[in-house]
């Protein structure tokens, strides 16, 4: 701690300086711990990753500089493209959580005895850990003991090995991920619906709006802040879809359910990994993809702050 | 988990001291990181430490037990910072990254004497660059565990050739069962099948050259191995949906009699006994001969102890490794572990499967392999086992799989 940080009254010289600059310095003092840790644990590692991605390094010996070799390898790495494709699938299908959450919220937004109980039941999947959700779904899909095959058998569908089939595995995991994500979006919309102005609804009803029209032109515009947050958390959730994959399939069968984040972990930190440079290269690519989205997000925030 | 044995072993010390040892009295510290927390290995290690403590009452021994999987990543940290005096790891190529980085102590001096002769069977597995880097305390056999009662019911006898194996399998399939259970979700189980098919088709030397990266994966001989594998796949010999199961989840198929056999390591016996199979129901046989005349080689993964290069008390650690290697200790430890001692003067537990394994490995004239993921480079192992799993599901992809493995091999050997 420096002298400037000690509270006011004691020595007159610094005291005067403090009094003069208090308003300007105080916010920075409050921000200082946050900025320091953010710089140390977020900003610095980003540049470190960029740097490591130009080396071949097993985490033990001396790093060997290889230039762009890691990126060249990425270009003809089948696993990389599979992961990238799966990331896109996650991103698109995960967005289904938003309409899903909205409709459950609309459904639950009524005055009935015991509604709180129903609401909490619907919210329940979000409360339990992703790891537990993954485990439960893995058992559910298990072709030997799971309930999934008897269930689809009722509709005359032949038994499936959802998590063991490269064509279905990613969808199976996304479905499991949607379960808690829908609950999350539902809660966002439920709070949003509380803030919907009843007078506007009343006015719209007098003008003859109902059903879809009412929803689209009157309710949804008022839910815009909730929708915005729902999109943000869902996109982030889709991008960091790591734990479910790790618990349910370990990226298998033969790598068909990997996403970039998981592949990065596998290459650099798993039992057979420790190709730090290659892992860092994947991380850089993932970072650049995320950057597009984050930039858009920041730009929008900034625009809204300016009051457009 | 940490234990100090000094006090607990004091009483024991008096009795064993009478037996007398040639070794000088040890003082100071000995820190041991052991890589298994499961009940049997834990008991074995604690027993080992307790007996060593009894020999050296003035020594301050500290034992830390680390989870088997967690150790695989933690070892990188503790070898480079705050190293213990002894740590647990595996033989074969799995040691290479640490040997190459200068993190393991060269213990060739221990192997130079009588101890080296007693442990001769695993000397190649502990040797890299002409030096020895650790001491083995236990190993276990791989082979085919099968339902004797089902074989009897179908009138089958234990096969010794590939043709007999397939003929048996045909009968088993016709009885409405699968020949082999397997769970490939964690990939490594496929390595056992590849190892055995390759060892039996082309022999030990070819297998070791291939796993060492000296032979291209696109070689015709590799294709011949896969062709043998494909014969079983095309018959439908393996259980369906094996990609969804772990090796434990594949056990019920054998226990319920839906599959007749399981290619696995001897650690399979304990859970199967627990699940209710008696020794009359469960049998063991050696993986049958494929190419006639090739000496039988076996997979026998070896568990080892090493001295980190940065250890503080290397003299104490050396004395401990010598103690670990002794015939008497290996007899006791492997009795507890339910595995095989490596010291040729040690005696083997009175157990059907351990006896069978001991006999098989004593006659393994072809050689002893560690296991696919311990004989190959780590990156090659991951790519290889992923390829095996894909092959088991989509055998038509073989060309693409081999191309991919070959490009990994070229990159690994170029580094």
CA distance B4 to chain A (A): 31
Instruction: Give the whole-angstrom CA distance, residue A189 versus residue A100.
Output: 11
pLDDT digits (tens, 9 = 90+) for A178-220: 999 999 999 999 999 988 888 988 898 898 888 888 888 888 8
Euclidean distance between CA atoms B191 and B389, whole angstroms: 9
Assign B46 to helix, strand or coil. helix
In whole angstroms, what is the distance from residue B329 CA to residue B342 CA?
11
Q: Is B179 exposed, middle or buried (0-12, 13-18, 19+ CB in 10 A)?
A: buried
If one counts every other C-beta atom within 10 angstroms of the C-beta of residue A232, the result is: 15
Mutate to test the interface with A, among B90, B185, B244, B256 (most CBs of A within 10 A): B244
Percent of chain B with pLDDT over 90: 66
Note every long-range contact of B277-283, with CB atoms under 8 Å and residues 24 or more positions apart, other chains counting: B277/B147, B279/B352, B280/B148, B280/B149, B281/B147, B281/B148, B281/B149, B282/B145, B282/B146, B282/B147, B282/B148, B283/B145, B283/B146, B283/B147, B283/B148, B283/B151, B283/B158
Domains in chain A, start-ordered, CATH in brackets?
3-52 (no CATH), 69-305 (1.10.3720.10)
Q: Hey, are the CB atoms on A272 and B373 less than 8 Å from each other? A: yes
Contacting residues of A for B240, CB less than 8 Å apart:
143, 161
From residue B117, give the alpha-carbon distance in Å to each of A170, B122, B137, B325: 54, 10, 15, 11
Residue A38 pLDDT greater than 50, yes or no: yes
In angstroms, the separation between the Cα of residue B181 and the nearest Cα of chain A is 13
Chain B residue at shortest CA distance from A162: B244
pLDDT in tens, A13-30: 667 888 888 889 999 999
Average pLDDT, integer, range A248-258: 89
Residue B185 to residue A164, Cβ atoms within 8 A: yes
State the Cα–Cα distance between residues A240 and B124, nearest whole angstrom.
45
**For position B10, what pLDDT does the model report?**
44
Q: What is the pLDDT, as a whole number, of residue B257?
A: 93
CA distances (Å), B412 to each of A172, A281, B213, in order?
Answer: 34, 18, 8
Please enumerate residues of A whose Cβ is less than 8 A from a Cβ of B.
Answer: 56, 58-61, 73, 78, 141-144, 161, 163-166, 249-250, 252-255, 266, 269-275
Only one residue has tokens 């001396």, namely: A62
**The token pair that represents A1 in the structure block:** 């701690």
**Predicted ipTM?**
0.82
With beta carbons under 8 A apart, name residues in chain A contacting B76: 59-60, 274
CB contact under 8 A, A58 and B97: yes
Chain A residues with beta carbon closer than 8 angstroms to that of B381: 272
Architecture of domain B142-299+377-414: 3-Layer(aba) Sandwich (3.40)
For domain B2-137+304-355, give its CATH number from 3.40.50.300, 3.40.50.2300, 3.40.50.720, 3.40.190.10: 3.40.190.10
CB contact under 8 A, B97 and A60: yes
Residue B386 CA to residue B401 CA, distance in Å, equals 9
Residue B204, token pair as written in the block: 């030990």
Name the residue among A78, A163, A275 with its Cβ closest to that of B404. A78
* Cβ atoms of residues B316 and B86 within 8 Å: no
Residue A7: pLDDT band with limits 50, 70, 90: low
Whether B20 shows a pLDDT value over 50: the answer reads: no
The average pLDDT across B226-238 equals 95
Q: Which contacts qualify for B8-11: CB closer than 8 Å, 24 or more apart?
A: B8/B50, B8/B53, B9/B50, B9/B51, B9/B53, B9/B54, B9/B57, B10/B57
Give the Cα-Cα-Cα angle B378, B381, B386 (nearest 5 degrees).
135
CA A251 to chain centre: 18
DSSP states along B99-133: HHTT-B---HHHHHSHHHHHTGGGHHHHEETTEE-
List CB contacts (< 8 A) between B242 and chain A.
164
The pLDDT of B385-393, averaged and rounded, is: 95
Residue B271 bridge partners (DSSP)? none
Q: How many residues would you count in chain A? A: 308
Contact A164 B390 (CB under 8 A): no
Q: Do B244 and A255 touch (CB under 8 A)?
A: no
Contact between chains at A253 and B243 (C-beta distance less than 8 A): yes
Q: Do A253 and B80 touch (CB under 8 A)?
A: no
Partner residue facing A61 (CB), from B100, B382, B393: B100
Task: Please tell me the distance in Å from B404's CA to the nearest CA on chain A.
Answer: 9
Q: How far apart are the first and last CA of chain A?
A: 42
Chain B residue with CA closest to A255: the answer is: B386
Sketch the domain layout of chain B as residue ranges.
2-137+304-355, 142-299+377-414
The pLDDT value recorded for residue B365 is 83
Q: What is the mean pLDDT of chain B?
A: 89
* Contact B96/A at CB under 8 A: no
Give tens-digit pLDDT for A51-101. Answer: 999 999 888 878 999 999 999 999 988 899 999 999 999 999 999 999 999
Cβ distance B320 to B86 under 8 Å?
yes
Q: Tell me the three state secondary structure of residue B211.
A: helix
Q: Which residues contact A56 (CB under 8 A, 6 or more apart)?
A: A63, A64, A66, A69, A70, A275, A277, A278, B415
pLDDT tens by residue, B29-60: 999 999 988 888 899 999 999 999 999 999 99
Cis link prior to A253 (omega < 30° from 0)? yes
B389 touching A (Cβ < 8 Å): yes
Q: B148 pLDDT band (50/70/90 cuts)?
A: very high
């Amino acid at each position: 701690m420096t002298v400037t940080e000690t509270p006011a009254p004691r020595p007159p010289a610094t005291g005067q300086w403090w009094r003069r600059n208090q308003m300007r310095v105080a916010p920075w003092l409050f921000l200082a711990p946050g900025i320091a840790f953010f710089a140390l644990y977020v900003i610095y590692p980003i540049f470190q990753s960029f740097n490591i991605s130009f080396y071949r390094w097993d985490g033990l010996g001396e790093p060997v500089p290889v230039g762009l070799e890691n990126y060249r390898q990425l270009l003809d790495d089948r696993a990389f493209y599979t992961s990238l494709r799966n990331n896109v699938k996650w991103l698109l299908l995960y967005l289904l959580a938003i309409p899903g959450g909205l409709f459950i919220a609309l459904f639950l937004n009524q005055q009935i005895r015991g509604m709180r109980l129903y609401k909490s039941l619907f919210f329940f999947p979000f409360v339990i850990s992703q790891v537990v959700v993954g485990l439960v779904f893995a058992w559910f899909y298990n072709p030997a003991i799971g309930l999934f095959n008897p269930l689809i058998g009722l509709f005359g569908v032949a038994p499936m090995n959802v998590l063991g089939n490269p064509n279905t595995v990613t969808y199976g995991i996304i479905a499991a991920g949607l379960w808690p994500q829908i609950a999350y979006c539902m809660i966002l919309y439920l709070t949003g619906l509380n803030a919907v102005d009843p007078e506007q609804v009343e006015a719209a009803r007098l003008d003859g709006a109902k059903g879809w029209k009412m929803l689209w032109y009157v309710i949804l515009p008022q839910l815009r802040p909730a929708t915005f947050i729902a999109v943000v958390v869902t996109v982030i959730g889709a991008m960091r879809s790591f734990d479910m994959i790790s618990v349910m399939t370990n990226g298998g069968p033969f790598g068909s359910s990997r996403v970039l984040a998981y592949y990065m972990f596998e290459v650099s930190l798993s039992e057979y990994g420790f190709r730090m440079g290659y892992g860092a290269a994947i991380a850089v690519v993932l970072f650049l993809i995320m950057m597009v989205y984050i930039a858009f997000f920041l730009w929008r925030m900034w625009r809204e702050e300016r009051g457009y | 988990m940490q234990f100090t044995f000094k006090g607990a072993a004091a009483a024991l010390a008096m009795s064993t001291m009478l037996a007398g040892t040639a070794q000088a009295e040890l003082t100071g510290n000995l820190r041991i990181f052991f890589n298994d927390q499961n009940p049997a290995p834990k008991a074995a290690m604690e027993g080992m430490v307790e007996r060593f403590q009894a020999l050296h009452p003035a020594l301050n021994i500290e034992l830390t037990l680390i989870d088997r999987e967690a150790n695989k990543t933690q070892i990188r940290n503790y070898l480079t910072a705050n190293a213990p005096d002894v740590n647990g790891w595996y033989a074969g190529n799995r040691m290479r990254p640490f040997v190459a980085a200068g993190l393991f102590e060269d213990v060739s001096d221990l192997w130079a004497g009588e101890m080296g002769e007693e442990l001769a069977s695993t000397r190649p597995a502990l040797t890299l660059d002409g030096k020895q880097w650790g001491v083995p305390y236990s190993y276990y056999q791989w082979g085919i565990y099968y339902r004797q009662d089902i074989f009897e019911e179908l009138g089958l006898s234990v096969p010794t050739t590939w043709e007999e194996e397939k003929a048996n399998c045909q009968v088993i399939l016709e009885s409405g069962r699968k020949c082999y259970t397997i769970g490939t979700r964690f990939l490594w189980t496929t390595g056992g099948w590849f190892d055995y098919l390759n060892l039996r088709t082309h022999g030990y030397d070819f297998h070791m050259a291939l796993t060492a990266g000296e032979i291209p994966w696109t070689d015709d001989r590799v294709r011949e191995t896969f062709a043998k594998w494909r014969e079983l796949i095309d018959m439908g010999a393996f259980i369906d949906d094996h990609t969804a199961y772990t090796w434990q989840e594949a056990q019920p198929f054998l226990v319920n009699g839906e599959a007749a056999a399981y290619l696995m390591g001897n650690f399979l016996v304990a859970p199967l006994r627990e699940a209710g199979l008696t020794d009359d129901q469960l049998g063991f046989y050696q993986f049958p001969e494929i190419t006639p005349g090739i000496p039988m080689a076996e997979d026998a993964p070896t568990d080892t102890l090493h001295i980190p290069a940065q250890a503080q008390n290397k003299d104490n650690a050396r004395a401990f490794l010598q103690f670990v290697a002794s015939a008497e200790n290996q007899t006791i430890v492997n009795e507890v572990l339910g595995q095989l001692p490596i010291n040729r003067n040690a005696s083997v537990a009175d157990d059907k499967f351990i006896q069978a394994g001991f006999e098989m490995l004593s006659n393994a004239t072809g050689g002893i392999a560690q296991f696919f993921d311990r004989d190959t480079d780590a990156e090659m192992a991951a790519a290889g086992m992923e390829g095996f799993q894909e092959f088991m599901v989509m055998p038509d992809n073989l060309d693409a799989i081999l191309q991919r493995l070959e490009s990994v091999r070229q990159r690994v050997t170029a580094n």
